[in-house]
Amino acid sequence: MGWRAAVALALLLPLLAACEDSSTPLVFGRRGAAEGEFDSPRGIAAAGGRVAVVDRSGRLQEFTAWGVFVRAIPVMPPNARRGFPLGVLFDPAGGYLVVHTHDAALVRYGIDGKELSRFGDNGVKDGELCMPQRAVPFGGNLLVSEFGYEECKRIQEFTPGGKFVRRLPGVFQRPMGVAVDGAGVLWVADASGSLLRYEAATGHLLGSATTEGKGAGQAVWPTGVAALPGGGVVIAEAGNHRLQRFDAAGKSLGVFGRSGSLPGEFNTPYDLAVDPPWLFVADTENHRIQRFRLDAISWEKPGEGR
């Protein structure tokens, strides 16, 4: 997309937002390998009206907040060991930071697709990476979740250049999604069934917000978490095919969605991202992205409503 088109789109977006029915989810993408299509999207980032998605196709695709395709870049070079990335962030310089799970690396790309830098040595020692899952900015550094071998079910902090800072003292089983809220609380979606809360600065455990199950305050295979403006978080439950919202103290405020392929339904949602006023969900096995307006989601206790 050229700069003239980008400027025109920026002027048009507020008009689109004003005209849109905020209660209707926006759905974009379908299964395939063409531009704007997906093969099991499992990592998503959203910021400043930009949306980035990584999937099994070995590429990163960028869209506008309205689902308009912008560009695609390959992020799995031919010499990659195996697998595909599970995490993606927007780099402050304007490009992307991709978490290469099976290649044990965090790689920065420019918007032209050129690899700019990378860090990560495969291993279980402090400062090495073993199946990195996701990353979240914290205090100018990066907190990276990992689970693979028994020794590396952990969260480590690195400088932007990849220098090891510390290993958080928490005990994890399958840490995946990570988010830091405005109060400095680190939320960890542990796929074993727990949503954990820590002081990000110290690693002190504040508590667990969930147990395994299908009720409110319970979760099955939570894999993504995103902080909300004003406090609290939303998690993606791949096993329960739904989203769940929590307040800043970790109390469940209700769930949204169910198994299915209609708008507002999910099939193994693996990740999600907040870019106010929007919530974007990687609806993984439906091979699509869904966008919801945060203030239009109806959070229900399990068994209520539909």
Query: What would the DSSP string read from start to end of 179-248?
Result: EE-TTSEEEEEETTTEEEEEETTT--EEEE--EESSSTTEESSEEEEEE-TTS-EEEEETTTTEEEEE-T
Tally the C-alpha atoms within 13 A of residue 179's C-alpha that lie toward its C-beta. 27
**pLDDT for res 163:** 98
Query: Identity (one letter) of the amino acid at 305?
Result: G
* Mean pLDDT across the chain: 91
Q: What is the pTM of this model?
A: 0.91
Q: Which residue has the higher pLDDT, 37 or 14?
A: 37
- What is the Cα–Cα distance from 177 to 271, expressed in whole angstroms? 8
Strand-strand pairing, 211-212 and 218-219: parallel
Q: Is 109 helix (H, G, I), strand (E, B) or coil?
A: strand
Q: Is 4 helix (H, G, I), strand (E, B) or coil?
A: helix
Q: How confident is the model at residue 13 (pLDDT cuts 50, 70, 90)?
A: low
What distances in angstroms separate CA 107 from CA 113, 133, 165, 196, 261, one per listed residue?
11, 13, 18, 27, 33
Q: Within its chain, how far is the Cα of 294 from the centroid? A: 16
Q: What is the pLDDT of residues 77-95, one digit of tens each?
A: 666 666 789 999 999 999 9
The yes-or-no verdict on residue 19 having pLDDT over 80 is no
Tally the C-alpha atoms within 13 A of residue 142's C-alpha that lie toward its C-beta. 30
Q: Is 272 helix (H, G, I), strand (E, B) or coil?
A: strand
Peptide bond into 277 cis (omega under 30): yes
Statement: 34-296 belongs to CATH 3.50.50.100: no
Q: Give bridge partners of residue 138 from the DSSP assignment.
A: 141
**pLDDT for res 101:** 93
